[in-house]
Structures are given as structure tokens and as C-alpha cells.
Copies of this chain bind each other. A is one copy, B any other.
Amino acid sequence: MGVKERREREREQRKSQILDTARTLLLEKGLNATSINQIAKRSELSVGSIYFYFKDKEELFAALQVEGLELLYQTILRTVDQEALPEEKIRSIALAYLHFSEEHKNYFDIINYFLTSPKTIFPPDLKNKIDSHGNASILTLTSAIREGIEQNNFKPVDPRRQAVILWGVFQGMIQLKKLENTILADIGHRALYMEAVELFLDGLRIRNQ
């Protein structure tokens, strides 16, 4: 039994060793320019070994995406003060996502890539894995909204729907960063981002008359 466990452990180590390299290369050269051969050379493993641990290139990069989603989730968890007001929580999550997109640009890019790339249809099991990890972050939003409703601060909306919408807003707004030097030259990106968040909070809030 000890043997089996050790094997399992080693297997996991190898896997993350490969993922480490893949991640680094991804950051350096982008998704398309990162090849299995390069990963093999850099990680001092053989090409064959990589194919032993990952069915194909797609599976490897999907694993990285799961990693990214997990990291995002952890970041959010760490950021959100459980004692804070629902509004504050939502703001924190928004900022956490923005920070994540800036500080873990590579992860953000890969998440983004699979979200926006026209083709790429994952096999169902992989897809589920990815979705459940993605869902986790959205759930934090859902909870915050539900909480706000329960405390009579938010209108009685469907928390999950609003959470998804907010998530879409985050996503769309962050992407605008690319236009910072042209269309947005005269508008600060971060201020704009937060303005969007406030707008939606405003719509959510129950106004006391």
C-alpha cells in the first residue's frame, strides 16, 4: 500500500513539474508559440513522458486553466472579508478579479483564451471540471448577493442570475484594458472598471425614500 501511495505521489509531482514548465513557457511566448517539444526540453523530460501524463496538448493546457481558476478562487477567498457588508464583498471580488488579471496575466490570458476562442470544444469530463472550478468563483458572488437580499439591502433579484451578469461585466470591462492606449486614452481604465461595478451595485441597492 505504501508503494502505491508513493507512486501516486511521484506521479503528481511529475505532473506539476510539467505544468510548471508549461506555465512558464506560456507566460513567455503565448499559447500558440508554446510547443510540447519545448516543454519537454525545458522540463528535462522526454516528449514521450509528457504524453504519458497528458493525453494531448489540449489536456495539458486545460489543466493549466483549471489551475488558474483555482488560483483565482483562492485569491477571491483570501480577499473577501467574511464580516464585511455584501456591497463591500462584491467590490472586493471585483477588485480581486482585476488584480488577478493584472498580476497573473498569464493565467488570466489562458482562462480568457478558452472562453473566447471560437473553436475549442473540450471533451465533456474536462469541460465539467473546468466549469465546476469556474463556478466556485461565481458562487462567492452569488452568496454576497443573496446575503444582501436577506439583509434587505438589495432588491429581491435572482442572486445567481445577477452573479453571472456581474461576472460578465467584470470580464468585459477587464478586456477593455487593451484599448487603454487608443480608444481609452483619455479615460483611466481602473476608474472606469470600478465605475461599472458601482453602477451595478446602484441598480441592485434598495433606495430608501
Contacts and interface: CB of A to CB of B under 8 A. Distances in A.
Contacts of A112: 116, 118
Contact of A134 (B30, B173, B183, B199): B183
Interface residues of A, number: 48
Contacts of A171: 172, 175-176
A85 interface: no
Nearest to A131: B182
Contacts of A207: 207
Interface string A172-209: 11011011001110010000100110011011000101
Contact of A182 (B31, B128, B176): B128
Contacts of A31: 118
Interface in A152-169: 160-161, 164-165, 167-169
Interface in A27-56: 30-33
Contact of A119 (B30, B131, B202): B30
Contacts of A32: 32
Given A172-B168, A192-B161, A178 B115 contact: yes
Contacts of A117: 30, 113
A109 interface: yes
A116 B116 CA distance: 8
B183 A30 contact: no
Contacts of A179: 115, 131, 134
A63 interface: no
Interface centre among A161, A184, A209 (most CB of B within 10 A): A161
15 contacts: A30-B117, A31-B118, A105-B118, A112-B118, A113-B116, A116-B116, A131-B179, A164-B192, A165-B192, A165-B199, A171-B175, A172-B172, A172-B173, A199-B200, A200-B200
Q: Which 7 A-B pairs have the closest CB atoms?
A: A172-B172, A168-B172, A131-B182, A171-B172, A109-B118, A168-B173, A203-B203
